Structure 1
């Protein structure tokens, strides 16, 4: 049984007698969608315009629901959209709305194509024009163009007024000085006594440590030689308020340590800086069955790579990678000899104050020294010479320690 217009008229009359409705009860069966919309609009005293493309019938039963919810239910069921202009509601299909939006965009694009173009030179003080241009090209219109003047570090832009304004604002935001960090490093070998005199307190962070407080992210040890005299196991220590360079020099004069290198690096915020010290060792490589050989090189170096991040409160986060590659044993192979490289490296991230010294250690080496004291000539007599001489051995355990002191440099 289909609901007739009598039901719709009855609802309309009841609603008109009471004015604006708070709730709607409506039951229809295969009634044209446009007629249902007109009835709902009349119930609440709304002005409505229904597009000519709106067709189809609708069956529904709504009981005591808000008027707006009833309207949204009908629109959703019929695949329609609603817009409003003042006190008038416009109802159209999704396809009609999308076609209208497409026409508007096409008209806007045509108007943009007729806008006059203007050139602008944007000078940059801190940012690199070439790097900035890679991102800035995405802000141009379809007719815009951007080139780089490397000599003056400028962006040369040609576009319409609106896009030029957006690019100028963006370039001003990006052209900011980045923090710079001076990294003073000392790479030394020393014994445990010297470490104690310097006041280094080692702390080996575990997996539950807060990030950036000495937690290790990667620790690898690739010892090519089984009986290598060094051992991996990096430690982290800190030294506060000490004149490190003077103390290291004093200990070196006392022959308690050896300063291998004292590099200084200048790195920008989030930009890596690295230094290597060592040599490249040549070795022969066979070219297969032909028997031809070529010479290649392996690095045997002590290297350090640092990427600083400038934080608030004059703190610096350091992403560190330190490696030590040393010549190992010579291995005999069928086609010749191959030199093994003893490799040890660490990757870690720590946070320190500007001017605070960080100590990284844990690579140990064993030095064996033999000494003979005795009476000249008599100590060389076979068998009896043992009575006139003393043979001694000295075992010294030394540690490779890297001291790093970051200092934030103010950019004027």
Structure 2
């Protein structure tokens, strides 16, 4: 196995070039043509001079639009449940307490698509009009709070950022290849390392709305190691429990998206012994004991998006079309 870590990666949205081509096509004259080369990132347009000026203005605006970014602050938390909250956090009480600290409500997020894995406990999502400090304070009042990760990242509009917080579990896979030869059968073995992340993986794709809100497509995946298994040739593989969901929620700047509801159980062995007597060789075990404690935890993810700059491609297209319509009937020369 390896050490715990948090990483962030991004992937490019492939629909951008289609949007650009569609926008330019709407601005062309009947004699105009456009060719989009994705490989070289070039747009070739042939048209009358006045139309070319409008299209150039459109492409300059799109270039600025592509650079729009969304700053996402995240907190990945583990709350050890105790006492009256051992069956889960009381989100109703959290809402009321957070309101006293400046929050208005914890409303249900608008979930357009959601799929739960067949596992005990499911994800819940909501949007709170508050900040991290107020929520952390209230969560801490219902259990023992542990911050697993606190990443902050900026990702381009419509691009996916992936946050990994956990441990990379390494195992080895052996492949046996038998090939016929003149002297019989030759056997060769190749050993390949494999890696699986044990912990939390968050895929987040932000989309900036015309009203300044941010639609977040969130794909949380929680992976736990339940044990190990051996193959017929002796390789050891981890037994993995994976729980994931796919959800979309809309939030304004200053709000916090709250994902919770994922319950986990951890079994902890507690060793105790009588001082001095428990260390005696041979009979020390008579003065020692081991007890197993079951701790219930709930995983909580907090996300706060902030829009940085820019406008949507289709908004720019509409603006340029409006300008074009105002000049209809005029000579383009």
Q: Same fold by TM-score, threshold 0.5 exceeded?
A: yes
Name the CA distance, whole Å, in 2 between partners of 1:142 and 1:214: 45
Structure 1 stretch displaced more, 278-287 or 302-311: 278-287
Spell out, residue by residue over 1:68-107, the C-alpha distance to the aligned partner (whole angstroms, 9 max, x if none): xxxxxxxxxxxxxxxxxxxxxxxxxxxxxxxxxxxxxxxx
Following superposition, the deviation at residue 156 of structure 1 comes to: 7.0
SS in 1 for 2:131: coil
Is the aligned partner of 1:168 residue 2:57? Answer: no
Shift of residue 181, structure 1, vs aligned partner: 1.9
Partner SS, residue 342 of structure 1: strand
Which residue pairs with 1:183 in the alignment? Answer: 72
Point out where structure 1 has 5 or more consecutive residues left out of the alignment: 1-129, 202-210, 224-230
What count of residue pairs does the alignment treat as equivalent?
259
Following superposition of structure 1 onto structure 2, how do residues 239-318 of structure 1 map, counting pairs within 5 Å? 239-244=128-133, 247=136, 251=140, 256-277=144-165, 278-279=167-168, 281-290=170-179, 291-301=188-198, 302-318=200-216
Displacement after TM superposition at 1:262 (Å): 1.1
Partner of 1:29: none
Match of 1:344 among 238, 243, 257: 243
Instruction: Work out whether residues 276 and 303 of structure 1, in 8 Å CA contact, stay in contact via their aligned partners in 2.
Output: yes
- Measure the CA separation in 2 of the matches of 1:287 and 1:134: 51
Q: Tell me, yes or no, if structure 1 residue 363 matches structure 2 residue 262.
A: yes
Q: Partners in 2 of 1:261 and 1:318 — Cα distance?
A: 20
Distance 1:345 1:260 in 2: 18
Tell me which of 309, 333, 341 is aligned to 2:231: 333
1:341: how far off? Answer: 2.7
Structure with larger Rg: 1
- Residue 348 of structure 1 and its aligned partner are, at CA, apart by 0.6
After TM superposition, give the deviation of residue 317 of structure 1 in Å.
Answer: 1.5
**Residue in 1 aligned with 2:101?**
none
Alpha-carbon distance between aligned partners in 1 of 2:207 and 2:19, rounded to the nearest angstrom: 24
1:319 aligns with 2:207: no
CA shift for structure 1 position 312 = 4.3
Instruction: Give 1:369 shift.
Output: 3.3
Take 1:410 and 1:143, find their aligned partners in 2: how far apart are those partners?
32
**Could you tell me how far 1:263 is from its partner in structure 2?**
1.3
* Structure 2: unaligned runs, 5 residues or longer: 1-15, 96-107, 180-187, 312-333
Shift of 1:340: 2.8
Q: Which residues of 2 match residues 147-162 of structure 1 at below 5 A?
A: 159=46, 162=48
1:200·1:237 contact (CA, 8 Å) conserved in 2?
Answer: no
Q: Classify 1:269/1:379 alpha carbon distance in 2 versus 1 (closer, same or farther; 3 Å).
A: closer
Match of 1:213 in 2: 110
The 1-side partners of 2:113 and 2:192 are apart by 37
Q: In 2, distance between residues paired with 1:356 and 1:269?
A: 18
Distance in 1, Cα, partners of 2:273 & 2:291: 11
Counting only pairs closer than 5 Å after superposition, residues 64-83 of structure 1 correspond to structure 2 as none
1:213 counterpart SS class: coil
RMSD value over aligned CA atoms?
4.7
Return closer, same or farther for 1:314/1:397 CA change in 2, 3 Å cut-off.
same
1 or 2 for the larger relative contact order (CA 8 Å, sep ≥6)?
2
1:58 aligns with none
Q: Which has the higher helix share?
A: 1
